[in-house]
Structure 1
Amino acid sequence: MTIDFSIREAVPGDARDFASSQVLAWRAAYAGVLDEGYLAGLNVEQLTRGWTRILGAPDVDVRRLALTASGSTVGWSGFGVPRDDVPEGTGELHALNLHPDYWSRGLGSALFLASVEGLRSMGYHRAYLWVADGNSRAIRFYERHGWCQDGTTKEDARFDPPLFERRLSVSLG
C-alpha cells in the first residue's frame, strides 16, 4: 500500500507530533538498549514543551524537517552544525525519528535522503551521525544507505548507565 507523504521544514505547530513520534520511536528502537524505566518515563508533554521552545526559535545552523502522512507529522529529522570536534566541512545528522507504524515503508529513507540533501545544501562535504550500540536496525538502515562505522565511539553520560554509541560517516561528494 502506497502512503502519501510530504517532507517540509518543521514549524512550531509540529512540537506535539515531534514529541509523540519521538517517544514511540524510542520505546520501539531502544527496547533492550536503554533502561526500561527510562523509556517508560518518557513524557510527551515534557518533550512537547521542549520542542515548542526549539521550533519557536529557529537556528540557522540546524535545520529540522517534518514528514507528514495521514494528516499529521509522523517523523522528523535534525541536521547541521556538528556538536563534536570534527574536520571543517563536516556536518552532523543529529536525529532521525519516525513513528514505528511507518517503519519499513520507505518513509524513513525519504526523510533520511532529504536530510542528507539538506546537509549538502548547507555546504557540507562529509557527514556523520551517532547510533546507540545495540540499535542494530538503525545501524543496518544507515549502512544500506552507504554510511560506514568509522571506528569512533563515545559514551553518552546523559543516560545512567552511560549509553555507548558508534559513529557512522559518509562523504557527501
Structure 2
Amino acid sequence: MIRAAVPDDLDAIAVLHAEARATYYRGRLPEDDYDGPAERARTRAGWTRALAGADPDAAVLCAVDDSGLAGIAAYSPVEGVMTLTQLHVAPARWRRGIGSALHSACVAAWQRAGAGTARLEVYEHNTRAQSFYARHGWYPDPHHPRHDTHLVLRFEVPGP
C-alpha cells in the first residue's frame, strides 16, 4: 500500500534511508560521509522538514507492507521543476515492485499537479538505480547531464 507519510514514520524512514544509501555509497565514500552521526542528524532534520508538509506541492510517500515500511519517495518543486528528491526501497525488499509502485504514485501526483517534466539526480555509481529509472522512462538531461558525482535525469510526465 502507498500512503502519505506522517511524522510518526520518521524513525522508520531514517533507518530505511541510511540502509538504502549504504548499498551504493559503501566502499566509495568514507562511512562518516553517508552514515556517520553528523550525516544521520542532517538526514533526520531533512526528513523532519519534509514531513512537516509546509510545501503543498511537495510530498513524502511510504510503501507499507505486512512487515512495515518497505520504501519511501519524496518530491518537491526545485527552481520550478518537479524533482524526485528521494526514492529508496529497503534492500531486503528489492525486486518486488515496491519502487515501481512508489514511482507510479509520484507520476500520478505530478499529473494531478500539472507538471510537464520532472528531474532527479542519481549517484554515478548506483547502476541499479540508473537501470530502474531508465526502465521507467527517465533519460539523461541533455543540457545538464551531471551535478558533481551525480547524473541528472529527466522525465516527461504523461498527460492525465
Q: From 37, 51, 62, give the equivalent of 1:66.
A: 62
Q: From 127, 135, 139, give the equivalent of 1:136.
A: 127
1:121 aligns with 2:112: yes
Using a 3 Å threshold, how does the CA distance of structure 1 residues 21 and 125 change in structure 2: closer, same or farther?
same
* Offset, 1:45: 6.7
8 A contact 2:70–2:98 mirrored in 1: no
Aligned equivalents of 1:80, 1:36: Cα separation in 2: 28
Aligned equivalents of 1:13, 1:64: Cα separation in 2: 13
Question: What CA deviation, in whole Å up to 9, does each residue of 1:142-172 have, x standing for no partner?
Answer: 00111111242112xxxxxxxx111111211
1:17 aligns with 2:8: no
Hey, what does 1:145 align to over in structure 2? 136
Between stretches 133-142 and 71-80, larger displacement belongs to: 71-80
* Offset, 1:59: 2.1
Structure 2 SS opposite 1:111: helix
- Structure 1 letter corresponding to 2:36: G
TM-score by length of 1: 0.79
Structure 1 SS opposite 2:29: coil
Aligned equivalents of 1:80, 1:37: Cα separation in 2: 27
Hey, what does 2:147 align to over in structure 1? 154
Question: What CA deviation, in whole Å up to 9, does each residue of 1:20-71 have, x standing for no partner?
Answer: 1000000112223433342341579734455334413442131111111124
- Structure 2 letter corresponding to 1:125: G
Using a 3 Å threshold, how does the CA distance of structure 1 residues 10 and 58 change in structure 2: closer, same or farther?
farther
- Structure 2 letter corresponding to 1:55: L
Using a 3 Å threshold, how does the CA distance of structure 1 residues 37 and 51 change in structure 2: closer, same or farther?
closer
Aligned equivalents of 1:20, 1:150: Cα separation in 2: 31
- Structure 2 letter corresponding to 1:23: A
TM-score by length of 2: 0.85
- Structure 1 letter corresponding to 2:147: K
Using a 3 Å threshold, how does the CA distance of structure 1 residues 128 and 9 change in structure 2: closer, same or farther?
same
Structure 2 SS opposite 1:59: coil
8 A contact 1:9–1:66 mirrored in 2: yes
Which residues of structure 2 form unaligned runs of 5+? none
Structure 2 SS opposite 1:104: coil
Using a 3 Å threshold, how does the CA distance of structure 1 residues 133 and 42 change in structure 2: closer, same or farther?
farther
- Structure 2 letter corresponding to 1:19: A
